[in-house]
Amino acid sequence: MSGDSLPLTLPLPRFATESCEASALYRELRQPLLRYLVCLGLPADEAQDVVQDAFLALHQHLAASGSQENIRAWLFRVAHNRARNRQQSYDRRFGAPLDSDFDSVVDEATPEQAVLRKEKFRRLGEAIRLLNEPERECLLLRAGGLRYREIGQVLGIPTSTVGDTVDRAIRKLVEKCHV
Amino acid sequence: MCDFSGKLIAWMDRELTECEAEAVERHVRACAECRRRIHEFEEVSRAFAGYCDAAVKVPPRAGLPYWVPTVSSAAAVAALLLVFLRPLVQPVPLPPRVAQAAPTIAVQTAPGVAPPVRPRHMITQVKTPVMSWEQAEPAIRIAIPAEAIFPPGAVPEGVNFVAELSIAADGSAQALRLQP
């Protein structure tokens, strides 16, 4: 059987490295991506599909020796664009972004704490709805751990604009919520 | 308002240059108002992240996607058509007399008659065969279960009828003959 062994020149190490890298990215970014897409207004099942599509695209990108620079921003941009395409195609299916009923997820120890938390969510939800779309998207990507430069790459806007937008959005929320 | 107020969020997010960050840090140590503002910004940032997490945990609303009823209806109609039409319409092999019904074609395609060899550039008038539709025998046969025509019990079970359909020249049904 030793004569049938594979030659060592096969690109298996490179494939294994890409596969490991894609797996690590999947573990790290799946949940932030899912959260970002759901908060954009996609239903959970659609968000799952888009995340899978995005990671499939990532696998193809890495297999085609695509650039590995800013791969996190690349992945978010792919997911963002696909989500927007779906929203434009099936607009009537999607609810308003971050428009959810949190009654079922508030499970505080005491009823008083549950009421306070629900009230906090309600006020925050109202404040978030007052943000414009770029402000909401910037805050969502910031909450996903992206740097301003990466947010700019995802949304196609300059880094300085991201900084101004995040600053404005946070101040609006503070003003409306009084947290 | 403090001069550094506009840089506080970028400082929190570590988006300032090292030099700028040091200046803001020195200022924040000395300015209670900026420390209060930073606390508010951190609180609202945490609350926003918690709100997003809760949005992901919210179970999907009841109700099916809009295309489900359409696809389900189409599938049900297709299934019904398959169930009901399959025993009614069965392909019946055409009898040999159908081929004889078109004599002009049969003559031209008869085996064993070698076509005359003609030199090139000789164009002869081709006689177009006249299709006699009225002489054509029924070419469509449909097997129909007896219970689909007669009331239950009128005909022994398992008896089928073959419907021979003659089609007129204009495409309309000329005659329908049922044979057990």
Length of chain B: 180
Cβ <8 Å between A121 and B51: yes
Domain assignment present for residue A116? The answer is: yes
Q: pLDDT > 90: what percent of chain A?
A: 37
Same domain, A49 and A111: no
Same domain, A82 and A18: yes
Alpha-carbon distance of B44 to B1, in angstroms, equals: 20
pLDDT digits (tens, 9 = 90+) for B118-162: 555 555 555 555 554 544 455 566 666 666 666 777 766 666 666
For B149, other C-beta atoms within 10 Å of its C-beta total 12
Same domain, A164 and A115: yes
pLDDT digits (tens, 9 = 90+) for B1-60: 688 889 999 999 999 999 999 999 999 999 999 999 999 999 999 999 888 888 777 555
Same domain, A90 and A107: no
Q: In 3-state terms, what secondary structure has residue A81?
A: helix
Same domain, A30 and A72: yes
Looking at the complex, does the CB of residue A12 fall below 8 Å from at least one CB of chain B? no
Domain assignment present for residue A147? The answer is: yes
Residue finishing a domain among A66, A94, A122: A94
Alpha-carbon distance of A80 to A74, in angstroms, equals: 10
Domain assignment present for residue A172? The answer is: yes
Looking at the complex, does the CB of residue A174 fall below 8 Å from at least one CB of chain B? yes
User: Which among B45, B49, B52 is the nearest to A170, CB-wise?
Assistant: B45
Same domain, A73 and A35: yes
Window 107-166 of A, Cβ < 8 Å to B: 120-121, 124-125, 128, 139-140, 142-143, 147-148, 163, 166
Same domain, A126 and A78: no
Same domain, A130 and A58: no
Window 22-41 of A, Cβ < 8 Å to B: 31, 34-36, 38-39
Q: In this predicted structure, what is the pLDDT of residue B25?
A: 93
Give the distance from residue A145's alpha carbon to the nearest chain B alpha carbon, in angstroms: 10
pLDDT digits (tens, 9 = 90+) for A59-98: 888 888 777 788 889 999 999 999 988 877 665 444 555 5
Q: Which residues of B touch A40 (CB under 8 A)?
A: none
Q: What mean pLDDT do residues A25-41 have?
A: 88
Cβ <8 Å between A35 and B44: no
Residue finishing a domain among A94, A128, A150: A94
The CATH number that applies at residue A84 is: 1.10.1740
Same domain, A130 and A152: yes
pTM value surpassing 0.80: no
Domain assignment present for residue A1? The answer is: no
Alpha-carbon distance of B25 to B11, in angstroms, equals: 8
Same domain, A118 and A73: no
Cβ <8 Å between A177 and B47: yes
The residue segments making up the domain with residue A138 are 103-179
Number of domains in chain A: 2
Domain assignment present for residue A154? The answer is: yes
Same domain, A81 and A109: no
Length of chain A: 179
Alpha-carbon distance of A174 to B115, in angstroms, equals: 96
Terminal CA-CA length for chain B: 101
Looking at the complex, does the CB of residue B60 fall below 8 Å from at least one CB of chain A? yes
Q: In this predicted structure, what is the pLDDT of residue A116?
A: 81
Domain assignment present for residue A4? The answer is: no
Domain assignment present for residue A40? The answer is: yes
Same domain, A18 and A87: yes
Residue finishing a domain among A43, A59, A94: A94
| The token pair that represents B56 in the structure block | 């992901």
Looking at the complex, does the CB of residue A77 fall below 8 Å from at least one CB of chain B? no
Is there a contact between B23 and B10 (Cβ–Cβ < 8 Å)?
Answer: no
Cβ <8 Å between B44 and A170: yes
Domain assignment present for residue A37? The answer is: yes
Judge residue A144's burial from the number of C-beta atoms within 10 Å of its C-beta, 0-12 exposed, 13-18 middle, 19 or more buried.
buried
The CATH number that applies at residue A136 is: 1.10.10.10
Looking at the complex, does the CB of residue B70 fall below 8 Å from at least one CB of chain A? no
Cβ <8 Å between A143 and B49: yes
| Count of CB pairs separated by less than 8 Å, A with B | 84
